[in-house]
Amino acid sequence: MTGFAFEILARDGRARTGVIGTPRGDVRTPAFMPVGTAATVKAMLPESVRATGADVVLGNTYHLMLRPGAARVARLGGLHRFMNWDRPILTDSGGFQVMSLADLRKLTEAGVTFRSHVDGSPHMLSPETSMAIQRQVGSDIVMAFDECTPHPATRAQAEASMRLSMRWARRSRDAFGDRPGHALFGIQQGSVFEDLRAESAEALAGIGFDGYAIGGLAVGEGQAAMLRVLDFAPGQLPADKPRYLMGVGKPDDIVGAVLRGVDMFDCVLPTRSGRTGQALTRRGAVNIKNARHADDPRPLDEACGCPCCRGYSRAYLHHVFKAGEIIAAMLLTWHNLHYYQELMAGLRSAIGGGRLAAFVDGFEAVRAEGDLSSL
């Protein structure tokens, strides 16, 4: 296709399944986007990422502007060619990363000045520069520049932060311009306050975006508070556009958010866990570092069809992790991403078949069996 479009194929309660169409290929929703912050999904080849079932990956404006630099990426043919990924790429605006710099940043109406965590060099990010960088690298889905409201925040702090983000959203829209085949997503803010979230959603809809993200969650508020916000936040956003919950999350977070009408997710958890010796399975997390795995000939999960589970034992994974071998991170990351994509495929199928409630019951029943202490 030549443009960007979103089609809802089926609904089950508030949950939706559909397709985001882009010139670089379709994204099936609900979708999980593996995080490729610095133009790589850590410990994975691009073809391996695709083999897990991923339709889209995420890159990051902040990290790419610092290293290797957006201009260099552009000179080398753009981010898709640079990282050898020919399917859609979404890039975060950098707002979350500069928020996390704390004492190294200064926020004004114009934007955020900060010092690089790499070499201490000074930089400035604004709605205009964020749009320019994302254009240079050639991302398919561009995120508006915002301030990610920290948690906890008072109502007054959340209100001021949200309204600044809405002014930046307008500037992002203006700077993005008319780019057929590329999409710009706005980001809802407002912390845990329903009326502030509603004001933000109304402002974003008035500006007009191709999709809408729910920002400012998964920043320390806890799952219960996050789900309370998701009870109302997705429904405040335009129903005919994709809804993206940024930085989430754990498998049960994703299932809970899908039930509440969210379509897109990203999180570093499956890749980071793979590098730190944790496998994420249907029943919970398995810590491959534990000594009990040293003589275990079984796979991580007998029901999993990923290359890790098809070909390698827990004993081997325990050995290579303890030995510091790179293959440990590769195999565990592949397994974790496969599990996430299998979960998304299950959710899509269940929504399409009108059996989401039964799917969720089964998901929760298996997890209630525990963290596989027998594994």
Three state DSSP letters for 127-187: HHHHHHHHHHHCCCEEECCCCCCCCCCCHHHHHHHHHHHHHHHHHHHHHHCCCCCCEEEEE
| pLDDT attached to residue 371 | 54
Backbone angles phi, psi at 323, to 5 degrees: -80, -5
Per the CB < 8 A criterion, the answer to whether 33 and 248 are in contact is: no
Q: Domain ranges in the chain? A: 5-266, 273-368
The residues, ordered by sequence, that sit 6+ positions from 334 with a Cβ below 8 Å of its Cβ are: 43, 44, 48, 52, 274, 306, 307, 308
Residues annotated catalytic, as ranges: 92, 266
Q: Answer left, alpha or beta for residue 181, where phi above 0 means left and psi between -120 and 50 means alpha.
A: left
Name the token pair of 372. 């596989």
Q: How far is CA 364 from the centre of its chain?
A: 23
Picking from 152, 230, 162, the residue whose alpha carbon sits closest to that of residue 202 is 162
b/e burial code for range 340-371 (CB count within 10 A of at least 16 → b): bbbbbebbbebbeeeebeebbeebeeebeeee
Per the CB < 8 A criterion, the answer to whether 263 and 244 are in contact is: yes
| pLDDT attached to residue 104 | 72
186 to 167, 313, 358: CA distances (angstroms): 11, 45, 33
Mean pLDDT by 10 residues, the chain (375 residues): 88 98 98 97 98 98 95 98 98 84 82 90 94 98 95 96 98 97 98 98 98 96 97 98 96 98 98 98 96 97 97 98 98 98 98 98 93 50
Torsion (CA) 60, 221, 117, 99 in degrees, nearest 10: 80
The model's pTM: 0.96
Q: What CATH superfamily is the domain 5-266?
A: Queuine tRNA-ribosyltransferase-like (3.20.20.105)
Tens of pLDDT, residue by residue over 14-58, are 999 999 999 999 999 999 999 999 999 999 999 999 999 999 999
Q: Which helix (H) or strand (E) holds 115?
A: strand 112-115
| pLDDT attached to residue 375 | 46
